[in-house]
Structures are given as structure tokens and as C-alpha cells.
Amino acid sequence: MAGFYQELRDAIAADTPVALATVVAGGQVGAKLLVYEDGRRSGSLGDAALDEQVAADALAMLAEGRSETRTYQSGDETPAEVYIESYLPPRRMVIVGAVHTAIPLEKFARELGYYTIVVDAREFFATRERFPDAHELIVAWPDEALSRLPLGPQTDIVLLSHDPKFEDPALEVALRSRAGYIGAMGSKKTSAERNERLRAAGFTDEQIARIHGPIGIDIGARSPEEIAISILAEIIAVRRGRDPRRGGRGLRPAKADPVDAAGERGA
């Protein structure tokens, strides 16, 4: 059993969504089954048919982050009560580019329950005066910072720097990760040019299609606060399975952020 709990701890430490099912009444009380988001399992509740039923429910509950006790009938035996507990990594938002829009975006994301991380190589932008309550403020080149962060399915990456020398290397790291959402600021022309550079770097169209760019839903946003709302609206839509790019009614990307002063590497 010690090895079983170590496996659960390892999954949590690796930001891997996993559900733990435990028989609490009927059947083999105390028997446990781990169900991973990709369908893998570890352990058993003592009955193959019960394992199948519980695993299917656990996957559905894990997708919503729910935990509850359910009753299952297996053959003529006494019904088994199984407590299914979902373990999801904390929702993280990594904002690349400490520009004007990043300020309200970080604030609004935090109010939605995100653990917020702001990354910028320009230390005169990435300051506590501008982001007093961000959970992490990292002054580093975005690709280097992203390579050190856990980028699992619960992580949303928003690139606002609007500068290829910051953005392209960061996107390469993001596209190789398991991040649940990747969005990048810029016009349609800018996005098309960015996609061409990524193709030249060896990324496939399928990989590039993960990028939401131009980022955000067109709600007529103009101010940094309104643009931040448009970005969060798109993230929420994608997280709820209503991707604006795949059938959202009348939804178009927001306009680009006003250009901030450019920084040089090593600034």
C-alpha cells in the first residue's frame, strides 16, 4: 500500500490529473483504484466489472474536478459504495510579456482562482509595482522560464509580448508541453507570419493549431481591461468545450495590445 500512495504522490507532484477510488462499504472495503486522465489504471477494487464501471465514472468526474460517493451493483453481491476523489493540479496562468494588458489579465485571472505567473525579460516592466499580487514574477527570457515551469493540462499560457524574439522561443517550449491552452497576441497577418516561422522550425500544422492566435474573442474590446476580459472569455469557452474557432457563433479574435517599448535580450 505504501507504493500505491507513493504513486499517487508522484502523480500529484508531476501535475498529472488522477482520480482515487476507494471502496468504503460493501465489497472489499479499503480496496483502491487509481485512474489517470489518459485512461491508465493502477490497483483494483477487487472485481473486474466494478473496476470498469468505476473507471468510467472516475474519468468523467476527473474532467470536472468532482469528488463523491457512488453505489455500484456487481452481480448478486452486496452493493459496493465507492468514494471517488479527483486530484487536479492548481489552475495556473502563465502570462508572457508584462505589457499593459497583462496587468488586468493577471488580476482578473487571480480572481477566477488562477495561480498567476508573469514572465518578462525586461525588469523595468516585470515589477511588483505593476503586479503587486501576482503569485510569481519571473524576470527571465520566456523560453528559459517556461522550460522550468510545470506546464500540464491545468496550465494556460498567454503570450502578450508581440515580439518574435521573445515569443517564438517561448511558443516552441509551449507547443512541446501539455498545456491546456496556448494563446498569442497579434493580428491575423502577424499570426500567419508566426505560424510560418514555426513550420520552418519543424512544427506540424496540427501542433501549430493548438495556438489561439489572434488571441481572444471579439467583443469590441479597446482598453487593456476589455482585452483581458476577451482573452479570459476565450479561455473559459475553450475549457468548457466551446472553442470559438470550431463553431462559436459570431466570435472573432480581439485586436492586438498597444505596443510597449521593446526590450533587448539581457535587459
DSSP 12-28: HHTT--EEEEEEEESSS
CB 53 within 8 A of CB 79: no
Pairing of strands 80-87, 68-72: antiparallel
Class of domain 92-246: alpha beta
User: Residues 249-253: contacts with CB within 8 Å, 24+ apart?
Assistant: 251/217, 251/218, 252/217, 252/218, 253/188, 253/212, 253/213, 253/214, 253/215, 253/216, 253/217, 253/218
The residue extents of the domains of the chain are: 2-87, 92-246
Instruction: Give SS3 for 81.
Output: strand
Residue 161: all three cell numbers together: 509580448
pLDDT at residue 176, rounded to an integer: 95
Residue 242: all three cell numbers together: 466551446
pLDDT at residue 232, rounded to an integer: 96
pLDDT at residue 96, rounded to an integer: 97
Regions in the chain scoring below 50 on pLDDT? 248-251, 258-267
> pLDDT tens across 32-48, in order?
999 998 899 999 998 99
Sequence-ordered list of residues with C-beta below 8 angstroms from that of 107, at least 6 positions apart, any chain:
133, 228
